Amino acid sequence: MRFKTVVETFSRKKAPLQFLGFLGCLRITVDSIAKQKKTWIYRWRCFTLKLHDEIPSLNFGNLLCTERDQAMASSVAARKRLLGTARQLWSSPVALVVKRSSWKDSIDGEDTGFSSTGLGGSFLFRSFSSLKASSPTLQSCNYDENAEMAHFPGARITYTENLQFISKLLPSTLPCFRVLSEHGEELVKDVPELDKGMALKMYEQMATLQVLDSVFYNAQRQGRFGFYATCTGEEALNIACAAALNDSDTVFPQYREPGVLLWRGYELQEFADHCIGNYQGHGKGRQMSIHYGSSRLHYFTVSSVLATQIPHAVGAGYSLKMENKKRCSVTFFGEGAASEGDFHGAVNFAACLEVPVLFICRNNGWAISTPASEQYRGDGIAGRGQAYGVRSIRVDGNDALAVFSAVKAARQLAVDNNEPVLLELMTYRVGHHSTSDDSTKYRDIAEIRHWNERRDGVARFRKWLESKGWWNDTVDVQLRKDLRAEVIACLAAAEAKKKPPLADLFGDVYDSLPQNLAEQEQVLREAVLKCPEMYPTDVPL
């Protein structure tokens, strides 16, 4: 398996070094120094490190090499000791610095799998930052020889003689980051810099989502298409996340995040065409109606099989890292989906492989009829981050400004450091789970009303806009009226379009139709011709 990543190289003499990233090892190609191409495989579990005194900009001295070590590194024995310490403390490479004249003796013969033969001159290079160990444990490593440390392959730890289990809970519940009060007042000085144009665009998109949901929900109830799920109560969260991301970040959605697509430019007509399932719809009528997707907008097609999108996002993020794209992948999921094994495997994978991926959990309190209180015993979803060695944050998901700030900052961390970040956005699912659900059967109507009337995120954002003098009732009424007319017109236009031809039912999976599918198509055609009244009349044969 070969990845294209060419990694940052440092050299005073422009030594033509190239790092090719591999899973689990680094392949180092040293070119013209030896006037011939030589390749070494450097196993990443073996570790070589030396401070290059001439290039102070490489600042790993504070991590592993104290001044004492530098002085001692002048002797072969001391360097070997340093290497040994490094191996024990650090299981992945940060940098490999080679100065041939002084290092040949200690590199050769070491079990690094690396030979210095053929190297000449003085040069150094470092592995790409994605392999850089960034765990806080590294920085607090104590390798004082006098401290009694228990070195196991699984952890670097101190001993205790107290037989004590650690508590089930963190010392205190994780706080919830917010920027606005329930009344839309600014609570912090550093309100994210949103200019008027951006803030208004966000609000208009939130309103569009509300109108879209209202019209489509009713259309489904009228039997005009098969299934629908609103994001009522989570519109502010949808749009704030989308606005904070880069439009080219690859999104792996659950199903309650159509706002991200809307923000990126998915047309209202595209939503309608897909739900109705006409020939221009993304799924050509073969998908559930809310299973939107768009490769143009870097938005993977929704799959209702819970949590399957989470490991996919990690794989995509890993690939973005290897191609040095400076983008991240983003996956959305509910607190219910976070109970699936896929979530746990994916987060652990991302932590170990240092993948730039955002795990965005919408904790809306319900997974159909299962309340969050029956979903976990720890501190929600954010509380799991530390166990996996992943940064995490809990945010008020109904505070668009808080969500915007947190996602923006998380994205920066992910892309700059090649690391995953877990965000838990606290919110409430105001709507029914879907058109197949009546949530009043399992939850109190007063609870729904409370969230809808008192704690709605769009209303809160609007109050903030009004406090700045950027919005008022008159424009709001007009906007919603215009949007409603537009959505209704798109739906009517979608219904007037042809259905996809029958042959489309069998296409798009294989390059050429396999025999069994060809036979099935033939049988279906014969059945339609024999009993046309049993089949839709608007599907072209």
Q: Give me the residues that bind Mg ion (CB under 5 A), please.
A: 334-336, 364, 367
Interface with ligand TPP, residue 305, by CB under 6 A: yes
Q: Per the structure block, which two tokens stand in for 318? A: 């890993």
Interstrand relation of 357-363 and 329-334 (parallel, antiparallel or unpaired): parallel
Residue 235 is a binding residue for ligand TPP (CB under 6 A): no
Asked if 304 is part of the footprint of ligand TPP (rule: CB under 6 A), the reply reads yes
Pick what 337 binds: Mg ion, ligand TPP, none; C-beta below 5 to 8 Å, kind-dependent.
ligand TPP
Q: What is the size of the binding site for ligand TPP (CB under 6 A)?
A: 16
Report residue 512 CA to chain centroid gap: 35
Return the exposure string of 386-424: e unless at least 16 CB atoms fall within 10 Å of the residue's CB, then b. eebbbbbbbbbbbbbbbbbbbbbbbbebbbebbbbbbbb
In whole angstroms, what is the distance from residue 27 CA to residue 526 CA? 59
**Is 342 one of the binding residues for ligand TPP (CB under 6 A)?**
no
For position 429 contacting ligand TPP by CB under 6 A, the verdict is: yes
Cβ proximity to ligand TPP, 356 vs 431, nearer residue: 431
Among 202, 244, 367, 422, binds ligand TPP (CB under 6 A): 367
Told to check if 422 binds ligand TPP by CB under 6 A, we report no
Q: Judged by CB under 6 A, does residue 291 bind ligand TPP?
A: no
Amino acid identity for residue 522 in this structure: Q
Ranked by CB distance to Mg ion, the top (closest) residue is 334
Question: With CB under 6 A as the contact rule, which of the stretches 280-288, 312-320, 365-373, 532-540 interacts with ligand TPP?
Answer: 365-373
Contacting residue, 28, 179, 306, 357, with ligand TPP by CB under 6 A: 306
Rounded-to-integer distance, Cα 17 and Cα 9, Å: 6
Shortest distance (Å) from residue 431 CB to Mg ion: 12
Residue 424 touches which of Mg ion, ligand TPP, none (CB < 5 to 8 A by kind)? none
Nearer to Mg ion, 205 or 434 (CB): 434
State the amino acid at position 231 in one-letter form.
C
Q: How far is it, in rounded angstroms, from Cα 7 to Cα 95?
A: 12
Q: Tokens 């668009």 map to which residue?
A: 400
Stretch that binds ligand TPP, among 159-167, 258-266, 329-337, 502-510 (CB under 6 A): 329-337
Q: Which is nearer to ligand TPP, 379 or 486 (CB)?
A: 379
Q: Which residue is nearest to ligand TPP (CB)?
A: 334
Residues 6+ apart with CB under 8 A from 461: 180, 184, 202, 203, 206, 236, 400, 401
Q: Would you say 263 and 212 are in contact if contact means Cβ atoms under 8 Å apart? A: no
CA distance 322 to 324: 5
448 sits near ligand TPP (criterion: CB under 6 A): no
State in angstroms the smallest separation of the CB of 300 from Mg ion: 20
Q: Check residue 301 for interaction with ligand TPP (CB under 6 A).
A: no
Half-sphere exposure for 346 (CA within 13 Å, toward CB):
32
CA–CA gap between residue 88 and residue 101 (Å, rounded): 26
Contacts of 109 (CB under 8 A, 6+ apart): none
* Nearest-approach distance from CB 433 to ligand TPP, in angstroms: 6
Binding part of the chain for ligand TPP, among 95-103, 313-321, 335-343, 467-475 by CB under 6 A, reads: 335-343
Binding flag, residue 336, ligand TPP (CB under 6 A):
yes
- Computed over its alpha carbons, how large is the radius of gyration of the chain? 28
Q: Please select the residue that binds ligand TPP; options are 50, 132, 256, 282, rule is CB under 6 A.
A: 256
Binding site residues, ligand TPP, CB under 6 A: 256, 304-306, 333-337, 362, 364, 366-368, 429, 433
